[in-house]
Amino acid sequence: MSGHSKWATTKHKKAVIDAKRGKLFAKLIKNIEVAARLGGGDPAGNPTLYDAIQKAKKSSVPNDNIDRAVKRGSGAEGGGAQYETLWYEAMAPGGVGVLIECLTDNRNRSASEVRVAVTRNGGSMADAGSVSRLYQRKGVIEVARDQEGRSVSEDDLLEATLEAGAEEVIDHGEGFTIQCEPNDLVEVRKAVQAAGLDYESAEVAMVPDYDNPVDADTAEKIERIIDALDDSDDVQNVYANYEGPAEQE
């Protein structure tokens, strides 16, 4: 139950890019608003909101911003927008399928920004279903290897989470990715916490069935598309099923 997690490395890279551009806070706040609107403003009774808040806190979003987002989403405070989730599919160089998740209050703006980002950087929009069939919805929990002087092992995580529903624990060097069915995400996350371990993030994500190996030049072209998509405030997540060449030490 180990292997390479392209999802983990891509998401980490995205987080760094977003933070540098000052966009990460806005996207995390939007997630909190939507979670509070759909499931209520009490994190104890709304696991999706709980995980959205934890992710925001780990990214150093101020508590005041988080509290206001919860209030806007739950209706306790005015000013909340009515967001909807939209999915777009595209093909990048190297035959790589790209899934784009948007959270938006303006469909036309999102569609336009996504199309421009993809087509101006060497990609093409794809028919609905042609890319999404290559992915599965999974619960995904990221756990760092080093935790307060303790080095976590794959066996530690397996022992802690297998009975809770973990399907796979993937070692990607600096940490681990635990995958499970979406409905098991909360129980697996709780099992990690019960074992005295911290986690970086816990969310439902789209995980590819396989990664396309590409050369460095193609990987750079794909990353240009991802970067351009990240420039849109409406784009929440970008998934691409590729694996570039190993970085040289």
- At 239 the three-state DSSP class reads strand
Contacts of 149 (CB under 8 A, 6+ apart): none
Whole-number Å distance between alpha carbons of 170 and 121:
32
Helix axes 47-58, 185-194, angle to 10 degrees: 50
- Going along the chain from its start, the domains and CATH numbers come out as 6-74 (1.10.10.200), 84-133+210-243 (3.30.70.980), 135-208 (3.30.70.980)
Q: N- to C-terminal Cα distance for the chain?
A: 26
The model carries a pTM of 0.83
List the pLDDT tens digit at each of the 249 positions of the chain: 433 445 555 555 555 555 554 678 888 999 999 999 999 999 999 999 999 999 999 888 899 999 999 999 888 776 667 889 999 999 999 999 999 999 999 999 999 999 999 999 999 999 999 999 999 999 999 999 998 878 999 999 999 999 999 999 999 888 999 999 999 999 999 999 999 999 988 999 999 999 999 999 999 999 999 999 988 989 999 999 999 887 544
Cβ(171)–Cβ(2) below 8 Å: yes
